[in-house]
Amino acid sequence: MNEEIILNVEEAGLRLDKYLDEQLADYTRSFLQKQIEEGRVTVNGKVQPARYKVKQGDELLVIIPEPVEVDIVAENIPIDIVYEDDDIIIVNKPQDMVVHPAPGNYTGTLVNALLYHCKDGLSGINGEIRPGIVHRIDKDTSGILMIAKNDKAHLMLSNLLKDHHITRRYHAIVYGNFKETEGTIEKPIGRSPKDRKKMAIVQDGRYAKTHYRVIEQFKQFAYVELTLYTGRTHQIRVHMTSIGHPLLGDPVYGPSKMMWGIEGQMLHAKVLGFEHPTTGEYVEFTSELPELFSTTLDKLRKM
């Protein structure tokens, strides 16, 4: 049976998704945004978008759907564990691995591997499909990911992520030469009005901020470090394309013809740092570049 939650707004001005996030601490913001998108949140009896600004006196009805039982199979898939304790697991995800199951794709994911490794020791906040998953990276992006082993750690890490208190630095190979060795991109990102499968820079999109620093410049490409201050879908890929530097190998936002037949963007989640949910101490983890990334850099240095 669905659960119904009724809220009466006492303080106006916040976006609907942010207001719900502040009021319903037992759910992650991404979960609540999904309920808004799917029409399970009404304001005074009407469905409103996430950007709707709540007004004093508004009555919000949130319908939390009954969990759907999905048989996610634990699979003995090798995973590169960088660190593990009672609260968290830090893994180095390979390129071409999906983070969590989705309709039509319930096997071979990181979650399937984690279920085998951890048995029942994963946070249940994100339900059957995404147990323990606090954030994700694209299938074709490699690198560091954090997983929560209990609900307390999951909520604390989610709040750090929401408040932009997590260090996330990526390494990438992009097209073109840079006039400036570093800079900051602040452009709103939302669903593309021309292609709903893509993200784009749109005026009414969500605020997004990325800092770039050139590590090494080649004739036609550059090796860069990218720091995320927000975590929008495809943020790095969209932001870098918007300034004329799409990622090498990006099948969606880059050139149609790929150098050396590379499939999948040259993007690696290199550094992840945050306050540990139990000790409160700042911890930071790094991962080595995958072989394809390193060999591609070697080829560029010889061009």
Which residue in 29, 26, 24 sits closest to 61, CA to CA? 24
Scan for tokens 């452009």, then name that residue: 187
**CB-CB contact of 125 with 155 (8 Å):** yes
Q: Which of 17, 21, 138, 250 is catalytic?
A: 138
Taking CA 11 as the corner, what is the angle to CA 8 and CA 14, rounded to the nearest 5 degrees? 100
Amino acid identity of 127?
A: G
Task: Measure the CA–CA gap between 185 and 290, rounded to whole angstroms.
Answer: 27
CA dihedral angle for residue 196, residue 197, residue 198, residue 201, rounded to 10 degrees: 20
Task: Measure the CA–CA gap between 121 and 150, rounded to whole angstroms.
Answer: 7
**The residue count for the chain:** 303
Whether 138 is catalytic:
yes
User: What amino acid positions are annotated as catalytic residues?
Assistant: 138
